[in-house]
Amino acid sequence: QCSIPKNCQLLLRNGKQLEVNLKFANVEPPIENIDRLNIRMNDDHLLIVLDREQAILDIFFPIKVDYERVEVKLLSDEGTVFLLLFQVNQHFISQLERVLGKEAVKVTTGETGGNSYRRHIGKTPDVVVVPKDVGQVSAVLKTCNEDSIPVVPFSTTTGLDGFANTPEGGICIDLMSIDKIVEINTSDFNCTVEPGVTHETLNQHLHTTGLWFPGDPGADASICGMAAMSASGINAARYGTMVQNVLNLEVVLSNGDVLYTAGKDRRPRKSSAGYNLTKLFVGSKGTLGVITQAAVRLYARPAVCSVGICPFQTINKAIEAVVATLQCSVPTAKIEFLDAATVTACNRYSKLTLVESPTLFLEFHGNSEAEVAEQASLVEEIFASNDGREFTWCHAPEEQKKIWASLHSAYYAILSQKTNVKGLRLHFSLPTSSLAKEVAEARKDIDESGIFGAVVGHVGDGRFHCIFLVDESNQDEMKIIQALSDRIIKRILASGGSCTGEHGIGINKRKYLENECGEVAVNTMIAIKKALDPKGIMNPNELFPKI
């Protein structure tokens, strides 16, 4: 079982054969030559790349698959069909089938799972279950808790740090079938959604209301998953992260109890009634419970948008221009950064013609052309004083859409620069005073290491990513990557930043948790974990060693 887009269908035949039927909306069938397709696993995702440059499918698999030997059939009238084979193990299945029905219980096998490029490789789940409502989620957790069966929830699973890994086997709960938009309160500027609702789906539904949900982490993530991961995204500079935008959560605890973090059916902007349980569960990453509903803030959809692009001579000057913009309180909606290596990759991958130097991409929102023009004019002056080159403006919606689509595809653009490699990503958050220095130092470290890498960032709210292309079979290269990662992370922590600006600590950076938060804070977290999940079944070994 996997989380897939609407152009796919899954069939489990005879309990052994998983058939994935794919229909490509952006590729004219038939694809006559199978050699045009490049199939690979990366970051827990099955990627299908056409002609080695266009990603036409990116779907999450919660299990490790032998993608190199997957059987591919190209059908002229049906699209592309993948056949993956799994054996069936009946252990523990009967109880789940009684709770959910046979059609909602899928069985997987395999010795390894999780992210294919990471040093920490997990075990595949023994079973994937597909509940239809919160009652079934509660029943599954109660059953698993009684028998101390590990549980890992997932939906679209666009996270990066191994949260869908099941190091002890157990159950994966696929929440994508719980997919209702429960309510939209236009006068209160909020709505309540279930785990299967993604931010794109919600915004399509909101289109006629004049409202929108600005959270956009790049991939079309589940809103409840974004809450679980404390996600942010490219609009966070103006509209905040999930921490600021979640009002209430429905959470199923490990024993099956259903918790409402701000009280049932309540959606206050602020409350001083007891502990702030909502913020406790935002970013809890499935380690304390399963989020089955989220009430989130909505905003007025901007009447006018304009996009600006400005290249710079150096990384330092680009980031200093961002800091100056923030200090002037210009309400910029998006401020994104790509280094020269990434711009070059995007030019090739997305067929752009950008100047190949450190570049800032901005979006301005307003109620009128004059309001947006005033914001843009002020930023243009600030950038010019920081050696910014000529501004390029994109006013047409189609031009803007193309620019942001290319930035969303930046990871795949970078990945396309080399063959037989995997992408390893680090992500950081920093005080604005340290941002320019640390981004430039990270770029310098990459250059000196000899590893192909890139630096990109949501610099409008102090976050950036390092992306390395690595051959995981090359042990010398992996040692260089480990030393490079350690050096950058230690410097980020020394600058008052965080080793994870988004996506969570995960297995890869768990060793830095105490360095960042302190021993007392980590012990407090462990005490909370033991109180809410005494048997330790919820996403075990993610934040802490087994407790």
Q: How open is the CA angle 451-216-46, to the nearest 5 degrees?
A: 55
- 53-67, 289-303, 404-418, range with greatest mean pLDDT: 289-303
| Cβ atoms of residues 46 and 59 within 8 Å | yes
| Alpha-carbon distances of 457 from 32, 208, 243, rounded to whole Å | 39, 32, 19
Q: Assess whether pLDDT exceeds 60 at residue 14.
A: no
Q: Assess whether pLDDT exceeds 60 at residue 86.
A: no
Q: What tokens appear for 376 in the block?
A: 């843009």
Enumerate the β-bridge partners of residue 129: 105, 173
pLDDT digits (tens, 9 = 90+) for 95-127: 677 767 777 777 654 432 333 323 334 456 778
Confidence of residue 78 (pLDDT cuts 50, 70, 90): very low
Residue with tokens 């409402």: 260
Residue with tokens 């199923």: 252
Q: Phi/psi at 498 (nearest 5 deg)?
A: -120, 145
Mean pLDDT for all residues in the chain: 83
Confidence of residue 148 (pLDDT cuts 50, 70, 90): confident
pLDDT digits (tens, 9 = 90+) for 158-184: 444 444 555 566 788 999 999 999 999
Give the model's pLDDT for residue 124. 65
Give the model's pLDDT for residue 22. 54
Q: Which domains does the chain have, with CATH numbers?
A: 1-174 (3.30.43.10), 181-300 (3.30.465.10), 302-511 (3.40.462.10)
Q: Assess whether pLDDT exceeds 70 at residue 42.
A: no
Average pLDDT for residues 385-414, to the nearest whole number?
Answer: 91
- HEC-encoded secondary structure of 1-53: CCECCCCEEEEEECCCEEEEEECCCCCCCCCCCHHHEEEEEECCEEEEEECCC
Give the model's pLDDT for residue 59. 62
Give the model's pLDDT for residue 233. 83
Give the model's pLDDT for residue 98. 73
Give the model's pLDDT for residue 523. 95
Strand 79-85 to 17-22 pairing: antiparallel
Q: Assess whether pLDDT exceeds 70 at residue 236.
A: yes
Those residues whose C-beta lies under 8 Å from the C-beta of residue 28, and which sit 6 or more positions away, are none
Give the model's pLDDT for residue 171. 85
Average pLDDT for residues 30-58, to the nearest whole number?
Answer: 65
Give the model's pLDDT for residue 165. 54
Confidence of residue 7 (pLDDT cuts 50, 70, 90): very low
Q: Assess whether pLDDT exceeds 90 at residue 20.
A: no
Those residues whose C-beta lies under 8 Å from the C-beta of residue 157, and which sit 6 or more positions away, are 3, 44, 60, 62, 163, 164, 225
Q: Assess whether pLDDT exceeds 90 at residue 429.
A: yes
- 188-192, 409-413, 471-475, 536-540, range with greatest mean pLDDT: 188-192
Q: Assess whether pLDDT exceeds 90 at residue 139.
A: yes
**What is the rounded end-to-end Cα distance, in angstroms, of the chain?**
29
Give the model's pLDDT for residue 82. 46
- 51-65, 90-104, 340-354, 494-508, range with greatest mean pLDDT: 340-354
Q: Assess whether pLDDT exceeds 70 at residue 46.
A: no
pLDDT digits (tens, 9 = 90+) for 237-259: 999 999 999 999 999 999 999 99
pLDDT digits (tens, 9 = 90+) for 277-313: 999 999 999 999 999 999 999 999 999 999 999 999 9
Give the model's pLDDT for residue 540. 86
